[in-house]
Structure 1
Amino acid sequence: MTEPANERPVSVALGLGGLLRVGGRTVAVADALTLLRAVQSAGSVQGVAGALDLSYRAAWERLRSLESGLGRQLVQKTRGHGSALTPFGLSVCNALGDASAGLEAALAREGRAVEARLVALFTEAPRRLAIAASHDLLLMEAVEALGGSEVAVLGSRDAVQRLLDGQVDVAGFHLGAEPLAESGVPFSDLADAATLRVRPVFEREQGLMLAAGNPLGIRAFPDLAGRRFRYVNRQKGSGTRLWFDRLLAEHGLAPAEIQGYGVEEFTHQAVAAVIATGAADAGLGARSAAERFGLHFLSIGWETYYLAASAALPPETLDGLIAAVAARAERSPGYKAPPRA
């Protein structure tokens, strides 16, 4: 009985391909790497045959064909000791293996994007979208309203790295007021990547969240220095933490001068809640979080929040999410549309 197409699991695994040309001879790269790795791992032609589900004769024929294609001996057979790669064969195996490892993350990322398209074709329904994102209230609300997505709340750096490694479909991140291309890895890897789409979604106002009424009279960022005020920080790798550290450097302050620098929370809401309960006096965060908890807000500046995805992901998938978030940003205090490119 034939399994209905909409019940078949769909998965995509992309691998190293291409051709290696030596003179007038052509060798398939993936086949060459598979054979060489099998010899290296099995240590005998019989082991290669078993690993590749070939007869002993077929395994030898494939090895001889590869040697003929490259014009050099690749395998050395020693009586009583099995078979091993020659120095030349080992060098070829390492070169191709390094190329495969270097492309592994990009291939995994593109494989996810192709899989998303094929799932929709086979099942007539989109695959659940995997999102890794720095925390933002509007984004979380929009994702929940749209449905069909799973969100992992991470720091901006980790979210982008997961996208680059092919572990998620979409990454949400922010960098403070710093341009994308000047933000260092992994953010700078997104700037000129032709295989990725990076879209600004909104601008968000960030600043110091302070106790209601600002009873301690904090007027400017440098006021945080010394032991008078208790600060609550964001986790390492978050966009807000990166911005805070840049602000310290700009004002010539050391982390040791900030009481509570090592106290970390993972969302804007969590930072606001700590201040609202009186456990801390200040923390850097979004105006929207400060207003939800009735806190005083001292503006530091505006930053751009981005969404990034593989260019192979169906365009309507990313565009639909961006439109939903942008619509909420238009009517929410502390947010505004990003500048047009």
Structure 2
Amino acid sequence: MKHIQITPAWYFSDEAGNQLDSKLFTLLEAVHRHGKLTRAAETVGISYRHAWNLLNKWEDFFGIALVDLERGRGARLSALGEKLLWAEQRVIARLGPQLESLGSELNLAIQQTLEGVKPVLRLYASHGYAIELLPKHLHELRLDLQYCSPREALAALHRGACDLAGFHLPHGEVGQRVSRAYRNLLKPRSYRALRFSTRRQGLMVASGNPLGIGGLQDLACGEARFINRQATSGTRVLLDGLLAEAGLSPAGIRGYELEEYTHSAVAAYVAANMADVGFGVEAAAQRFGLGFVPLALEDYLLICHRRSLAEPKLQALCRVLEGEAFQAAVAELPGYTPDRCGQVEGIEALLPDL
């Protein structure tokens, strides 16, 4: 099957037209991970000489070293090398979900032209690492996956623009408050919920947690630099709910007004030492080598019309969700469990206040 994948690219250039080689970012990431230039070159798939020449070329371009090499101590990124690597990772983290959504649209249009119109499962969902896995497992279905905020996803289901809306609901009292906020978009008589996964959210901190951050109360004094999620995200709703539950004011948090648009982007921000702490899922923290302070559990749910459950495309989805392969993939994600994945429940069972 032909498949479009859209990836971001950016370049440094000078007046002579020289442009930064994209392979340099891969090499810098490998040096950061392995601490040895020989191992980094092997990982990237180039010779040691090629790696050495690549670094020399771009050190001449910038006029400063990108990697510090010390006999007996291996290799480590210089300050500029770190800035370049984290800039690349922030670009990918911030734009990834939007580009995946665009790629989904383009793939669908091209495949329908090549093979004719076939049934499509339209999923509007809050972005997450588990939901990212679905396209790789839905071999029987054409999936139109669009990432958006939870409220936008439920609104799309309400107006018939999608078959499924994915959003996350925190456990406990915070979850009850969140459910009331979605009251006008959930129809207990008409809708049903598919269990998808349970995940941990909390504070992402530098490796080793050098500031000793143990909870939200450590943010309220304004000492630690914080990076937030955008106001429309479900993760921001969860954070605000936890702050309210603890009696803490956002006004005391240094950087509360600064926003990023994905879990990965928040993690990359902290990993680049642009902030001391962010809020998001454990999987993002581990992916960027950060420490994690767990604060909350939440269920990720897929909401659909009750009548849609009899359709072949929804039945095919349920078979995938209940299958060992998909559940094993979810279980490998740090902080995720495929709790009752694929199980159908009434809205009232999940949101008793409705």
Q: 2 CA distance for matches of 1:310 and 1:210? A: 40
| 2:154 is the alignment partner of 1:160 | yes
8 Å Cα contact 1:230/1:282 also seen in 2: yes
Per-residue CA distance 1:64-91 (angstroms, 9 max, x = gap): xxxxxxxxxxxxxxxxxxxxxxxxxxxx
Q: Specify the alignment match of 2:126 in structure 1.
A: 134
2:135 matched to 1:143?
Answer: yes
Residue 331 of structure 2 aligns with which residue?
330
The alpha-carbon deviation at position 272 of structure 1 amounts to: 0.7
Partner of 2:307, secondary structure, is: coil
Residues of 2 paired with 1:308 and 1:178: CA distance?
20
Of residues 210, 213, 228, the one that matches 1:215 is: 210
Aligned match for 1:230, one of 225, 229, 238: 225
Structure 1 residues without counterparts, runs of 5 or longer: 1-122
Distance 2:327 2:192 in 1: 17
RMSD: 2.7
Q: Which amino acid aligns with 1:323?
A: E
Equivalent runs, 1:63-212 vs 2, <5 Å:
126-146=118-138, 148-178=142-172, 182-184=177-179, 187-189=182-184, 192-212=187-207
TM-score, normalization: structure 1? 0.58
Correspondent of 1:299 among 275, 294, 297: 294
SS in 1 for 2:226: coil
Map of 1:285 onto structure 2: 280
* 1:262-289 deviation digits (Å, cap 9, x = unpaired): 1111211111111111111111111111
- Matching residue of 2:22: none
User: Could you tell me which residue of structure 2 aligns to residue 74 of structure 1?
Assistant: none
Alpha-carbon deviations, 1:97-142, whole Å to 9, x = none?
xxxxxxxxxxxxxxxxxxxxxxxxxx99742222211111121122
SS at match of 1:332: coil
Change (3 A) 1:182 1:252: closer
Q: CA offsets, 1:152-172, max 9 Å, x none?
A: 222222222221122222111
Name the stretch that deviates more: 241-250 or 138-147. 138-147
Per-residue CA deviation, residues 36-65 of structure 1 (Å, 9 max, x unaligned), is xxxxxxxxxxxxxxxxxxxxxxxxxxxxxx
Alpha-carbon deviation of 1:143?
2.4
Distance in 2 between the 1:261 and 1:321 partners? 39
Percent of pairs with identical residues = 37
CA distance in 1, matches of 2:181, 2:162: 15
What SS does the corresponding residue of 1:322 show, helix, strand or coil?
A: helix
- The runs of at least 4 aligned residues of structure 1 exceeding 6 Å deviation read none
Task: Provide the C-alpha distance between the structure 1 equivalents of 2:195 and 2:137, rounded to a whole number of angstroms.
Answer: 20
Q: Distance in 2 between matches of 1:200 and 1:188?
A: 19
Q: How far 1:194 moved relative to its partner?
A: 2.4
Q: Looking at CA atoms only, which structure, 1 or 2, has the larger radius of gyration?
A: 1
Displacement of 1:186: 5.8
Does 1:274 find its partner at 2:269? yes
**Structure 1 residue 322: deviation in Å?**
3.1
Does the CA contact (< 8 Å) of 1:172 and 1:306 recur in 2? yes
Distance 1:299 1:272, change over 3 A: same
Asked if the contact 2:150/2:167 (under 8 Å) is kept, the reply is yes
TM-score if structure 2 supplies the norm length? 0.56
Is residue 2:258 matched to residue 1:257? no
Measure how far apart 1:249 and its partner are. Answer: 0.8
Per-residue CA deviations over 1:288-329 (Å, capped at 9, x if unaligned) read 111111100001121111011122322314414533653422
- Superimposed CA distance per residue, residues 1-58 of structure 1 (whole angstroms, 9 cap, x where no aligned partner): xxxxxxxxxxxxxxxxxxxxxxxxxxxxxxxxxxxxxxxxxxxxxxxxxxxxxxxxxx
| Superposition deviation, residue 203 in structure 1 | 0.8
- Asked whether the equivalents of residues 178 and 237 of structure 2 are also in contact (C-alpha less than 8 Å), the reply is no
